[in-house]
Structure 1
Amino acid sequence: MSPLPMSVSTLSGPSTLTLRQLASGEATLEEAGHLSVSVAPGQWEELVGALESHGLGQAVSVEVHGEAPGDWPTDAQLARLVALGCVELRVPWVMELGEQRAEQSAHFVRLLRDCTSHRLRVRWRGAALPPIAPWTLYHLEPPESGGTPELDEAARRWRQAHAYGRCYWRAGPGFMLVKDRREGRSATQFLLDDAATRSVFEALSVPKRVESLDTEPEARKALADLQEEALVLELGPWRVALPFRMRCWPVPFIAV
């Protein structure tokens, strides 16, 4: 299996720059082989623009700051950040994933899923809370710790059970194939070859409230089937697809 990029935290280099400092050109290749940048939620386009403008060619660690989680980078923004050298995303808050913060949790799960797809390391603390079945998230970037003594054991189990490629999808002509080898269930493949199921699955690539989804009988059945197989996470009124898109095949690819 191809190794993850080296964590920036293992390297020596300059202190963390603000986005304004980066945009003004204060970072130079002569300073170090990597860069650490601090951004607020929602500043992702500005970060992409600053990195593109300077073309630094350095490994980039992004530290998020603020009083509370906000907008996370989209899948397209993550792809651009990775292409520009981003190797890790550092999250300062303890993320308790559950129905009490359903919207926030659904969006963070989406972030973990897309970062897993792009092989972008997420350094975060937290765990899944009931009624989420913990094994449904074990294929995603695991927490470094629980952040609190009450969550540390759940976080440890997540790290122990995690392996890349445990639940992913790939597309073919007119179909989508999901392969599920998550800890706690038998290895299974799902062929999403009908239009209603593919439409619901694709719609939930970003979190949505259930009332905003297609209400046609075929779509409602497709959603129920995806939820039953734990391919869609249900968090209060929010729904989000769980398998990540396989973009980075391990070597050998038969490992997944």
Structure 2
Amino acid sequence: MTAKTPAPGTVIFHRHRGYGVITAVNLLTGWISARFGSESRTLDLNLSTDEVQYADGEAILFRRAPPDRMPHARLMAMVRALHLAGYQKLYLYAWPKPSGLHWRWHLFTGQRDWMQRSWREGWYGSGADYNVNPVMGWGDSPGATTEELIHALAKFDPQGLAQALGKDEDHTAWFAGVCDALLPGYMYSLDMQRPAGAPLTDMPPVPVVPVRAGLAPYSGPAIGWPPGWAGLWSKVHAMSAPRINLTGIPEA
């Protein structure tokens, strides 16, 4: 069953305004914009203090049970389930935006080449986009379960997902261990840090980031780098760019 997550289009109830619909949301701050009845203007409300409920009367406990403000933990659970189903050539790369406030993500299949990986439309995104509209972008619903995410991805791009069939046992074992250590509250970031005026730091600790507010800093076991990263710190990196697709149809 899909969990309830505040998102544009969610029907809500306000004590003084009655029923309305969310038009914009920020999972980072808990502020939403909503339109009520026939009013043309939206009203800005805070989910923690303005007595906003879901339309069926369920409370939105934004402070006590905050939603994930980044999608990475949900993506990790989905990838792990697909690995168990035989889609072991599916990889999840996560790295920070230059501001450091949000983390990008990229799913890719086929050859395990972390720096020259292939791009497929709809298989990448940013936490900055997610926290205003919490969907992955392949026809999923906000708060979709792991099974629902898999079903939506398979329906959106069956040819792309088929490329992930096959074995990559060392990566699958690494990924399962990472999921055991981090889920459901934390994500990994494959960020190769470069101190100012210095080369890349060889084999630094893998950064671990909480995906929702109120979680303590990660204090579990150190996370190792995935198989295939040895030597990447000493190579020249030329990041691949996403291919522009003007048709809106996923490429094979």
Larger RCO, structures 1/2 (Cα 8 Å, 6+ apart): 2
User: Which structure has the larger Rg over C-alpha atoms?
Assistant: 2
TM-score normalised per structure 2: 0.29
